[in-house]
């Protein structure tokens, strides 16, 4: 349990509706703040550009490049998503925190070289005839974003969510302020503004990293030493991010669902708008998950391992084991309840909401199915996180790979079937993946006591 868990517990100890609301508000800001600030900032930049009557083509090009850069950088940095988090966790467990900072710099150097080479290839392929300045800014931003995700992952391992959120707020505030003063300029000015904000964000995250992990050493590559878990962790990270984005890429690059924007990059208006709105419906479920994990689940999880590793009685171990299973059930039921409420509101109020935003009411059909799909995606994410807590890395790799390949196949089929089937691909994929994850968690809990005994004996 890190400081954030204690803070939430302190708030909840007041046992009032106000304290509950305070805790949920805090959880929303801390758990979803970084990507929420990102979304709001990009929307504000686009809005400012529209108000200042900037060329509509420039606005669309900027928005397209930002979306592609975010998706590509997430996939590129995914090789470190779980591997470096595991390295930090192991270092903290072994009380060798002095090796975290030098290895963080080593990971940054490795990722910089890897992302630079891969980004150059992507830019040559997808932006062949685009202005050299735009290509240079895209390259710099791609590398910077990849490092931002690595920093975010590393600091999340230390659970310094508050500092991460503040850094994102400041970085994206600079982007908004810059966009205000450059709102009447062209694409390159907007891109430069976005890059400056990302660089500031990266520097803030690096300073936070240095503060939390002081060390006299400057560079290390111990994180590259292979462990039995490393291949599974790398595969899980890559498949996880590919699975999240593959349906969007299929819609972006299919001739009947895409519109060319810049270079060889496209957008899919019929899919992008409803998927964006439906993504926002997951905020409350993610906040609940964060609150529950930090205040209930982790405590039971730690108690079980302590009892097994330090000679607790069999009756006590089994009692805590059953308590952990019940915590997991409560977590899943809580997420389901929240998503049912959100989905019901969207079904009844979705068309009114679309009218207020001056969005074509036709999108309501796709929006409804995508809201259900995003509800399932939260379930998938929750189950995956629990499997990671239980150290079932092979299960995690299987689940992430299943999501990627099923999303690839089902989304492709849904596009071929026509407009009334859009969204069903990812929904069916998430349903299959969630069921598989349920079965694997059930299996993992049955063998949990034995697995922990074996681990503690081996250690």
Q: Each residue of 156-207: pLDDT tens digit?
A: 766 677 788 888 889 888 888 887 777 667 889 889 999 999 999 999 999 9
pLDDT tens string 314-358: 778 778 778 888 888 888 888 888 888 888 888 888 777 777 766
- How do residues 274-286 score in pLDDT, each as one tens digit? 888 888 888 888 7
pLDDT of residue 149 exceeding 60: yes
Q: Cα separation of 268 and 433, whole Å? A: 25
Cα–Cα distance measured from residue 146 to residue 56, given in angstroms and rounded to the nearest whole number: 28
The answer to which of 227-236, 315-324, 352-361, 384-393 has the lowest mean pLDDT is 352-361
């Amino acid at each position: 349990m890190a400081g954030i868990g204690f803070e939430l517990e302190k708030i909840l100890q007041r046992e009032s509706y106000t304290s509950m609301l305070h805790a949920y508000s805090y959880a929303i800001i801390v758990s979803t703040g970084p990507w929420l600030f990102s979304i709001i900032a990009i929307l504000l930049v686009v809005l400012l550009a529209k108000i200042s009557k900037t060329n509509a083509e420039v606005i669309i090009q900027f928005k397209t490049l930002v979306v592609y850069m975010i998706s590509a950088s997430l996939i590129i940095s995914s090789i470190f998503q779980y591997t470096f988090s595991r390295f930090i966790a192991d270092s903290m467990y072994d009380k060798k925190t002095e090796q975290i900072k030098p290895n963080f710099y080593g990971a940054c150097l490795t990722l910089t070289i890897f992302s630079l080479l891969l980004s150059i290839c992507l830019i040559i392929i997808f932006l062949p005839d685009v202005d050299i300045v735009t290509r240079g800014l895209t390259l710099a931003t791609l590398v910077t974003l990849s490092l931002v995700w690595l920093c975010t992952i590393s600091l999340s391992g230390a659970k310094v969510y508050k500092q991460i959120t503040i850094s994102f707020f400041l970085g994206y505030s600079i982007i908004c302020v810059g966009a205000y003063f450059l709102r009447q300029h062209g694409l390159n000015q907007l891109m430069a503004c976005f890059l400056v904000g990302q660089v500031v964000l990266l520097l803030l995250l690096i300073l936070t990293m240095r503060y939390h992990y002081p060390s006299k050493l400057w560079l290390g590559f111990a994180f590259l030493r292979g462990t039995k878990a490393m291949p599974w962790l790398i595969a899980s990270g890559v498949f996880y991010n590919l699975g999240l984005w593959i349906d969007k890429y299929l819609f972006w690059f299919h001739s009947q669902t895409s519109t060319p924007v810049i270079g060889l990059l496209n957008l899919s208006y019929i899919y992008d708008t409803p998927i964006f709105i439906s993504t926002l419906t997951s905020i409350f479920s993610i906040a609940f998950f964060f609150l529950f994990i930090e205040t209930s689940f982790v405590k039971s999880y730690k108690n079980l391992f302590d009892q097994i590793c330090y000679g607790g009685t069999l009756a006590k171990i089994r009692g805590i084991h059953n308590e952990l299973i019940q915590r997991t059930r409560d977590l899943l039921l809580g997420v389901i309840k929240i998503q049912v409420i959100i989905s019901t509101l969207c079904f009844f109020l979705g068309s009114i909401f679309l009218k207020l935003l001056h969005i074509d009411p036709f999108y309501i059909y796709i929006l409804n199915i995508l809201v259900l799909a995003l509800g399932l995606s939260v379930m998938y994410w929750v189950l995956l996180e629990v499997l990671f807590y239980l150290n079932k890395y092979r299960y995690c790799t299987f689940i992430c790979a299943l999501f990627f390949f099923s999303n690839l196949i089902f989304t492709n089929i849904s596009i071929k079937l026509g407009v009334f089937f859009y969204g069903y691909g990812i929904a069916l994929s998430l349903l299959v993946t969630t069921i598989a994850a349920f079965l694997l968690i059930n299996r993992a809990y049955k063998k949990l006591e034995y697995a922990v005994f074996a681990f503690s004996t081996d250690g």
